[in-house]
Every structure is written in C-alpha cells, then in structure tokens.
Amino acid sequence: MIDSQLRTSGVVGDDVIRRMGEVAREDFVPASVKGVAYVDRAIPLGDGKFLAAPLVHGKMLQEAAPKPHESAIVVDGGSGYLAELLRPLVASLKVLTPQEALEAGRGKKADLLIIDGAAEHIPDALAKRLADNGRIVTGIVRDGVTHLAQGRKLAGTIALQPIAEIGIPRLPQFDEPKGWRF
C-alpha cells in the first residue's frame, strides 16, 4: 500500500507514511472483508458506513498537515481508521459521527477539522466548531463528482478549494436539501 498506492501518488509526508504503516487497516473492517482491507477502493462496512481507500486517507492527512499543539475534530465515515491515524499527531482529538456533526457543539473550537467523506455542503453547526483561521480538509461533491478539498475558516465563513478529483464516499447527511433553485 505505501509503495504502490501512496508514494506513487505523491503521498510522501514522513508522519503520514509512518502512521499508515503503523495502523493496520484490517483492524477497522469486519472479518468478512479483512482480506481486501488494502485494496485501492472504498470498502462498504454496512449501514451506510465505509472505509475510504488508502489514498484518500493519505492525501487527507498530508493536506491537513496536523501539528502536535493543535486540537482536531474528525467527522468519522464509520470505520474509525482516520481518527486513529490522526490521534498521536495532535494534542487533542474529538471524533463525531455525521449525525453528531449536525448538532450544536460546545467547548473549545478546533484548529483542524477533517471530514472522512464527501459533502455537498458543510453544515453550520459543524462550521461553528472550527476556530477562526482553522483549517479544514474534506471531500466535496461538485456536479456529482467528488473532490478532495482544503480550506480555512475566515471571518466566520469556510472557504474551500478543490485539490483533486478522487473517489471519496459521500456522506448523505451533508447533502444539500433538495428543492428548486434559481
């Protein structure tokens, strides 16, 4: 995985490579799919949960560039793998389900927010959990195509810049409400 999927796709950060070598992906999937835990595709885990492809997590961590003094939030896609990769790289980590991310939060705001999935929009309740000038790394959906994106929260608003098209499982909880628009 490290030599054939990550390094060949530009994921070369020392901390990212080290953590992805230390954390066994097969520990985060059901027994029935342990044999394919390292395949370069998302693995469905049931109930709408998933383990994204290794390249997705590698690129997310590399773009996030976590620092040891930072607080972070991970919105988990259902496997817990991305949170485990990030945990020793930051001072504190809060893990939320997509449903919890839709609810108002209290306490200290995070310096870094990583969403383990693709969203059509970032819910206001989740955006409020990120400190001003905080960083965000997420998947976004534009015209039905998923992209890796990074951004910052400035003056209370999150601005995202797509980085690359990449297959990231969608988080339906973060879909835009359906309706007419002009």
pLDDT single digits (tens) 84-126: 999 999 999 999 999 999 998 888 899 999 999 999 999 999 9
Mean pLDDT confidence for 153-159: 95
Please, which residues have CB within 8 angstroms of residue 41's CB and are 6 or more apart in sequence? 53, 167
Q: Taking a C-beta distance cutoff of 8 angstroms, is the pair 141, 149 a contact?
A: no
Domain boundaries, the chain: 2-172
Burial of 33 (0-12, 13-18, 19+ CB in 10 A): middle
Instruction: Please tell me the distance from the alpha carbon of residue 45 to that of residue 49, in angstroms, as a whole number.
Output: 5
pLDDT single digits (tens) 48-68: 899 999 999 999 999 999 999
The proportion of the chain whose per-residue pLDDT surpasses 90, expressed as a percent, equals 81
Evaluate if residue 181 carries a pLDDT over 70.
no
Mean pLDDT confidence for 161-173: 95
Identity of the residue numbered 32: S
When pLDDT is cut at 50, 70 and 90, the band that residue 12 belongs to is: confident
Mean pLDDT confidence for 149-171: 95
CATH for the stretch 2-172: 3.40.50.150
Reported as type and span, the H/E element at residue 73 is: strand 71-75
| Mean model confidence pLDDT for the chain | 93
